[in-house]
Amino acid sequence: MYKIDFQTPIHIHFIGIGGISMSGLAEVLIDRHFPVSGSDMKASDITAHLEGIGARVAIGQRAENITDDIDLVVYTAAIHEDNEEFAAAKAKGLPMMTRAALLGQIMDNYARSIAVAGTHGKTTTTSMMADILLQGKMDPTISVGGMLDQIGGNIRVGQSDVFLTEACEYTNSFLEFHPLYSIILNVEEDHMDFFKDIDDIKHSFHVFASQTAKNGLIIINGDMEHTADILSGLSQKAVTFGLDAKNDYTAREISYDQEGNGSYTLVIRGEEICRVSLRVKGVHNVMNSLATIACARDMGLSMEQILAGLLTFTGTHRRFEYKGRIGDVIVIDDYAHHPTEIQATLNAAREYPHDKLWVVFQPHTYTRTKAFLPQFAEVLSHADHVILADIFAAREPDTGMVSSMDIVNLMKDTGCDVHYFPTFKEIEDYLLAHIQGRDLLITMGAGDVVKVGEELLAKTAEK
């Protein structure tokens, strides 16, 4: 593995520099005076921003972008050997590194690094932790997989020894990391196009936990059935969080205000500490906040700073995000694309005042849809009305093994009003004809289904 000397800047080229994570790493390196270039398939606000701070960005990925002055090439899992730039870099014999490997090497330069892992909730919890660190005047460097208003994007370059990032398990990316603090939110079956089974996933999380610094701390969901397996044989200190009273950090007397935001009494090792108020919805965010509190307290932040940070956190884009109103109908968008995430979102919706709940769901990847067909059908049936869009393929080819109609067919006996439409326009037309009163409409999925709600709001605003 090529090792970067961060005291001696070199020219690093990013294949796919406009991606949410790649762009953040490029910005960190630019701040450290590294010459940075990169390419992307289309221009965007992100590529324009990078050019504005000194990066050289090419639109289109071509062999000639791999110039002789490049010292290292960084690429994502989405880049394959038939990519022109990838092939050109290999032909030139240039050192090459994955995005995750670069992130791991950058993290190693920060004494207090925090990696947030888990099948669900990484972006939200990382963003919540970011607000706490900012309120605590920790001046952190932050890399998050979503757009966070408080830092004006997905990256913040600080000047302290604190580095905060998400740690994604897909393709075992997080095994490149050796953080001081490892947060493990949950462990479930997902990404079955890569992992063999749940035991394979548990093994990866065990290895991730084992790579926590020896003087560090593992902060792990103690309500999981897999917690003991993940911690087995590890010498690092660990604390647990969860709703069961056995955990080190837990919540009692959980309640929700008229907008569905949670509050609870914080209990640490059996001792009631204080009342915690959140400005985000759902019991899953109660769990997320417990993890951040455990980490922040170990870092030396006061409860006053922590509570202030939690109160400033109002969520991230595409996580139960309020988009607007169509008359009295509330439009929400959510990134949920796994059955457990959908359940968490629907649970949060129950605490939100409304008449009927409408969900427009766009499944994400064929392998995930196939793996969880019964679970998708069961969890979606908890809504009053469900509309299925076509599967968002992402990185996968359509082999015909599964379709959104398979979910519809499984739901027909549930009593839920369910429909499928092949185009967003048909979905929008149906919704305009049927939503009414104080209905709650949630567009849901990790693809581009957010456009449905945005288009509806634009159409109704024009009238």
Looking at the annotation, which residues are catalytic? 122-123, 166
**Is 119 annotated to bind ligand?**
yes
Task: Give ∠ CA 299-305-307 in degrees, rounded to 5.
Answer: 110
Scanning the structure block, which residue is given the tokens 């990078």? 50
CA-to-CA distance for 441 and 453, rounded, in angstroms? Answer: 8
Of 331, 312, 335, nearest to 323 (Cα)? Answer: 331
| Spatial distance between the Cα atoms of 180 and 325, rounded to a whole number of angstroms | 44
- Tally the residues of the chain: 463
Q: Contact at 8 Å (CB) between 106 and 327?
A: no
Q: Which of 22, 93, 85, 96 is nearest to 55 (CA)?
A: 22
Q: Is 126 known to sit in a ligand binding site?
A: no
* DSSP assigned state of 170: G
Phi, psi of 376 (to 5 degrees): -60, -45
The residues pairing with 277 across neighbouring beta strands, listed in sequence order, are 263
Binding residue per annotation — 121?
yes
Instruction: Print burial letters for 428-444: b (CB count within 10 Å at least 16), e (below 16).
Output: beebeeebeeebbbbbb
CB neighbourhood size of 12 (10 A) = 24
3-state secondary structure of 282: coil
Q: How far apart are the first and last CA of the chain?
A: 59
Task: Indicate if the alpha-carbon torsion angle 217, 146, 128, 185 is positive or negative.
Answer: negative
What CA–CA distance (Å, rounded) separates 14 from 21? 11
Provide the CB-side half-sphere exposure for 86 (13 A, CA). 14
Instruction: Flag whether 120 is marked binding.
Output: yes
Rg (CA), the chain: 22
337 annotated as a binding-site residue = no
Q: Which two tokens stand for residue 101?
A: 């490997």
- What distance in Å separates the CA atoms of residue 224 and residue 209, rounded to the nearest whole number? 15
Contacts with 439 (C-beta within 8 Å, 6 or more apart), sequence order:
328, 329, 330, 354, 355, 356, 357, 358
Residues whose CB falls within 8 Å of the CB of residue 170, separated by 6 or more in sequence, listed in order = 77, 191, 194
123 belongs to an annotated ligand binding site:
yes
* Placement of tokens 């952190």 in the chain: 140
314 is in an annotated binding site: no
Residue ranges for the binding site? 118-124
Residue ranges for the binding site for ATP? 118-124
